[in-house]
Amino acid sequence: MKALAARPRLRGALAAAAALLAATSLAACGNDDSGGGSGSGSTGETGTMNVLAAASLTEAFGELADDFEEEHPGVKVKLAFDSSATLAEQVNQGAPADVLATADEDTMQTVVDQDGTVGEPSVFATNHLVMAVPKGNPAGITSIDDLDKKGVTYVVCVDTAPCGKLAVKVLDASGVTAKPASEEVDVKATLSKVELDEADAGLVYASDIVTAGDKVEKVDLPTDNENLNTYPVAALSGAKKPTLAKQWVDLVTSDQGQRVLAKAGFGKP
Amino acid sequence: MSTRSRSRPALGRAPALLLVPAGLAVLFLLLPLVALLERTPWPDLPSRLVAPDIVDALRLSFITSTLAVVLVVLIGIPLAWTLARVEFPGRALVRAFVIVPLVLPPVVGGVALLTAFGRRGLIGGPVYDATGYSLPFTTAAVVVAHAFVSLPFFVLSVEGAMRATNREYDVVAATLGATRWTTFRRVTLPLAGPGLLAGLVLAWARALGEFGATITFAGNYPGTTRTMPNAIYVALQADPDAAIVLSVILMVVSVAVLALLRERWFDPAVQGATRP
């Protein structure tokens, strides 16, 4: 009985391993194909380009990096994700990077003020807050007013983070008086409290819900102008690969880039 | 100690091969602290010290780390004694488990605590379903997180002290008719006094500085769960100068408390322990 019970799990693990192998070998094939292609996207610049991006862009930029590398043989896109404020600070301290994409314009402005960007940053996406609730929505949350219900536990980002600044605006505009149970340090930490079902609701970005999959459910919030963050991207003046950096900005703002971003839950600029 | 130093034979000069790295080690530990002090905007210090959110965070940190130490002492002394004095199969394994929270990244400890005591946790789940009580996001959760990370420091310190004291004292007490409980109370525990105090201070300091497990398990809200380290982390994201000021406050307070304890307890205790 025990052996029987164990076998499907073993088979599952084997299948997963096989799938992983297949996926990596397929990916390798894909690279080979593009390597043998026309190379029309080549700019003369090869090597590694460093892209710094807000944590919420992890999935979208990951996919775009694959596309970019395919179009530019010999180029490797190195992505680093962190909170926008941390990345902007790193750029201002002289970190070697070619492109910066942040989750709000205030943060990007700190780099513009130091003449850290080439020209004006381009806004390429928007994001707004929604409520994440645990799978099955145990507390029966249907609108933001339900956060005021007795016994409802909700979490937000701390107000030093862009998502927390936005949460304060949204909660004020909705007249919610109940205090959050916790102010988490960033949006991923806020989401994980909901994923673990320790909180009945969390205010997170619409894009985070998409990437969280089926562990959480979404409850929409009103999306007036108060509830909106705009994402700027810019080639940096300290770039080692200025042409590639410019092309990355072009890709992100192109139709192709917009499709990937929309799929990841971002809004149009 | 004093008799030993009086009869110390001439050992020759301490070798530079040891002294130079030792000096480097001291520099390595001291330099970041000096740099922190150098960067501190001192004129801001008094006003920050009385700011309501800082007072809240400091008070919360003191209350939770002290309660954690009380909890740690209550369960830590019996555990240390059992490890030091009772032969049982799997003792090495138990000792290894006691050390785990020491080597575990604190954030992992926080996640582990959630899976055990969260409202969907192994123990927290049934409790929540039966009573509606949920531990995370409460001050009690901060105490639990603190106790989890500081218990190993205390147990290791006390167990070490108990093992270092000669077991024959216990045997003598037993031949004189003392029960094992009396022996523990009147002989073993007093002899382990210095180790106990050292463990107490270590555990308290560890709890005071705890960040990862606390923010993961208990969350971060002013007044209930935002301890000083949480407040420092939050400040670091918005205003690095404020974070530095907070760090200096926490550092000064901890050093002051440790110095005070040392003055009051350590020296006499250490002398008392080495005398026999």
Yes or no, beta carbons of A158 and B220 under 8 Å apart: yes
**CA–CA separation, A53 vs A82, rounded Å?**
7
B46: in domain: no
Cβ pair B96, B263 in contact under 8 A: no
Q: How confident is the model at residue B269 (pLDDT cuts 50, 70, 90)?
A: very low
Q: Which residues of A17-28 are buried (b: 16+ CB within 10 A; e: fewer)?
A: eeeeeeeeeeee
Select from A155, A158, A168, A216 the residue whose CB has the most chain B CBs within 10 Å, as the one to mutate to test that interface. A158
Yes or no, beta carbons of A85 and B237 under 8 Å apart: yes
Q: State mean pLDDT over B235-250.
A: 82
B267: in domain: yes
Name the CATH superfamily housing domain A129-219.
Periplasmic binding protein-like II (3.40.190.10)
Interface check for A185 against chain B (CB to CB < 8 A): the answer is yes
Q: Which of A83, A158, A196 sits opposite B234 (nearest CB)?
A: A158
Residue B176 sits in which domain range? 51-274
- pLDDT, tens digit, 9 for 90 and up, residues B15-57: 889 999 999 999 999 999 898 888 888 887 888 878 888 889 9
What pLDDT was estimated at residue B223? 87
* ipTM > 0.85, yes or no: no
A contacts of B221 (beta carbons < 8 Å) = 179-183
Interface check for A160 against chain B (CB to CB < 8 A): the answer is yes
Domain residue ranges of chain A, discontinuous segments joined by +: 43-125+231-263, 129-219
Yes or no, beta carbons of B237 and A184 under 8 Å apart: no
Q: How many domains does chain B have?
A: 1
B133: in domain: yes
Is the fold of A43-125+231-263 the same as that of A129-219? yes
B29: in domain: no
Q: Which of B221, B233, B237 sits opposite A182 (nearest CB)?
A: B221
B179: in domain: yes
What pLDDT was estimated at residue B44? 79
Cβ pair B222, B56 in contact under 8 A: yes
Given a cut of 80, whether residue B261 has pLDDT beyond it is no
Nearest residue to B45 via CA among B184, B253, B210: B253
A contacts of B238 (beta carbons < 8 Å) = 85, 160
What pLDDT was estimated at residue A28? 39
Interface check for A168 against chain B (CB to CB < 8 A): the answer is no
Domain CATH for B254: 1.10.3720.10
Per-residue pLDDT of chain A (269 residues; tens, 9 = 90+): 344 444 444 444 444 444 444 444 444 333 333 333 333 444 578 889 999 998 889 889 999 999 999 999 999 999 998 878 888 888 988 888 999 999 888 889 989 998 889 888 999 999 999 999 999 898 999 999 999 988 899 999 988 778 888 899 999 988 899 999 999 988 888 998 999 889 999 999 988 888 788 889 999 888 776 788 899 999 999 899 999 999 999 999 999 999 999 998 898 88
B229: in domain: yes
A43-125+231-263 maps to CATH 3.40.190.10: yes
